[in-house]
Structure 1
Amino acid sequence: MELCHKILILCICVVSSFDIEAQNNALPKLYHNPLKVEKDALGALYYFIDHNALDLDIIDYSGVYETYLTPIDGLLYEDCTHKLIEGQLQLDSTFFDSYSYWEAQKFAAPANGVLGNDFKRIDVFFYSGASKIDPLSYEVSGRTKVKDYICDFTGEISIKKVYHVFERDIESPDYYTIIASYKLREDPSQKGSGIFRGIFGAYGYIDDESSDIIKVDNISDGDGYQNRNFVGIWQSNNNPSTLKRCMWGDNRLPFRFDFDIGDGEMVVNPKYFSSEWDCFMRNEDIEVEYQENGDSRAKYKNVWWVR
């Protein structure tokens, strides 16, 4: 019996190692693939990004990001994209709105991101009221800011997949992963304008109050938090041969290169410092108002997105 038990353990270990090897072999073929497959404490396989394996010569990481977002076999999950098509599920009406939080209070604020290999700061603001084109597509509009250049944009976000990943234990509650493609066109008459393309990824949840509406998962906002990330490229309107890597999102970015050197939170590498990133690191974009009752509220100082 003891021998059989040892053989069983050995077989499980071998199969598990084969699973990891098979998943690693199935990853997109890059010179240095930043996606790795590991196993958590409960035995489920998951992707993680090896930031040391990122290559500045690779402009577009959107395909890798889509793979990263897709659940690996072994997780308990359901592809429920059809539920959006059939109207059984829908995204919350504010899912694409731009905002941040201060002590659980929501306030209008752009998402921060990076543009190009010199990691220029780009701020992106989506206006509220994204309109449905069809059950899986949304028309959006907003503004971008890079240094002193401000551009208006319009575009579409088209959902490719929605996965419901089920709870495995009390520390791993169920959640929804939304994968979409996007194309955002800046006004070609404005200086420094271009077109953004890539993959959008977000995590959401459903509560008891509205069992058919997926809300943005900002419950887990904390160290390492990242959500509603846009990963792709920017192409210049003036010179279409000019392509730059561009990413933005809530809090941290999924592909950090050597730009973000923080542990628990985002810290900009001094080699990429600029007046814009210095302002971000000093938290000077936000003004906090303290009230007599001890409460405080925050607001963005320079509301450059207001027309």
Structure 2
Amino acid sequence: MRTFIIACIFFISGTVNGQQNGLAKIKDYDLSKIWTSGGSTDIDEPDFFTTKRPDFRGFIGDNYQRIYIQIDEVIKDHSDQLTYYVRGYSIVKGNRCTFLGTIKIDSTEIKERPPLSAIQGAESLVDMNKVSHFGKAYCTYELFENKNQKWTGFFKGSLSTKFYLTNENEIKYDAAGGFSDSYMNNTYIGTWTSYSSGNSKTCNWGEFRIPESGDLDIGAGGFSPNPKYIENGWKEN
């Protein structure tokens, strides 16, 4: 653990009464579990939705080549409480590259839960009686692949995460809207840039669906890849 934190440090070279108050409030919570792969959707009605978050779906490049992203560990920096250190790996066409990097929270929207009479559908997945606020965190990320491995570069872009706060002052992954066909969370939008050539490619990924994925996703009730991209890693979606 100590080695991981020290290594990550080298890679760092609305609202509740306004955005600043939102940032001050989010410092009191730890989003590590929400960002680590394979966590819980924090729902209360498993008969209607999955209790485990799915693996990230993602693409890289104009041909929507599939990329696998795994985030194994996230640690909050307790000195700069808006910064988190990240460890994980990517896989493209069987080439696996480990990465280290950071997620930094830039802004937040945190709003009180609407009256129960105004909420439609979400109560089937989450007990609204225990929810005090709903929120979104808007972040920037930089993830640097190991230069000693093949075909490496770095990821850079923006991350959006939906969460809710409980009456017990806990932060939870917000899948209250999981009944919606377009539902997605932990959405990463950005680029991957090659160390060797300096060339960049669009690279987006997310949970449940992929943000800004053009005509790749043609599914109605859930993610379904366009047949014309099947040979680019989407035979198993």
- Tell me the residue number matched to 2:111: 165
The 8 Å contact of residues 140 and 157 in structure 1, kept in 2 or not, is answered as: yes
- Tell me the residue number matched to 1:99: 38
CA distance in 2, matches of 1:117, 1:270: 15
Which of residues 81, 88, 91 is equivalent to 1:135?
81
The 8 Å contact of residues 124 and 143 in structure 1, kept in 2 or not, is answered as: yes
- Tell me the residue number matched to 1:229: 187
The 8 Å contact of residues 217 and 226 in structure 2, kept in 1 or not, is answered as: yes
- Structure 1 residues 128, 235: CA separation in 2 closer, same or farther (over 3 Å shift)? same
Question: How do 1:262-281 and structure 2 match up within 5 A?
Answer: 262-274=219-231, 276-280=233-237
The one-letter code matched in structure 2 to 1:90 is Y
Shift of 1:193: 1.0
- Tell me the residue number matched to 1:119: 64
State the Cα deviation string for residues 259-304 of structure 1 (Å, max 9, x = none): 1111221111111112731112xxxxxxxxxxxxxxxxxxxxxxxx
CA distance in 2, matches of 1:176, 1:255: 21
Helix, strand or coil: the match of 2:235? helix
Q: What is the aligned-residue identity percentage? A: 28
- Tell me the residue number matched to 2:177: 220
CA distance in 2, matches of 1:153, 1:88: 25
- Tell me the residue number matched to 1:65: none
The one-letter code matched in structure 2 to 1:97 is T
- Tell me the residue number matched to 2:95: 149
CA distance in 2, matches of 1:247, 1:87: 25
CA distance in 2, matches of 1:192, 1:88: 36
The 8 Å contact of residues 64 and 216 in structure 2, kept in 1 or not, is answered as: yes
What's the Cα RMSD here?
A: 2.6
- Tell me the residue number matched to 2:8: none
State the Cα deviation string for residues 215-268 of structure 1 (Å, max 9, x = none): 21123323221000110111011211x110000110112213111111221111
- Tell me the residue number matched to 1:251: 208
| Structure 2: runs of 5 or more not aligned | 1-13, 123-127
CA distance in 2, matches of 1:141, 1:264: 32
**TM-score normalised per structure 2:** 0.76
Whose relative contact order is higher, 1 or 2, with alpha carbons under 8 Å and at least 6 apart?
2
Q: How many residues are aligned here?
A: 202
The 8 Å contact of residues 33 and 39 in structure 2, kept in 1 or not, is answered as: no
- Tell me the residue number matched to 1:199: 158
The 8 Å contact of residues 83 and 89 in structure 1, kept in 2 or not, is answered as: no
The 8 Å contact of residues 85 and 136 in structure 1, kept in 2 or not, is answered as: no
| Structure 1: runs of 5 or more not aligned | 1-70, 281-307
Shift of 1:89: 3.0
State the Cα deviation string for residues 55-107 of structure 1 (Å, max 9, x = none): xxxxxxxxxxxxxxxx6xxxx86545545546763134402100167954437
**TM-score normalised per structure 1:** 0.59
Q: Aligned pair 1:184/2:133, yes or no?
A: no
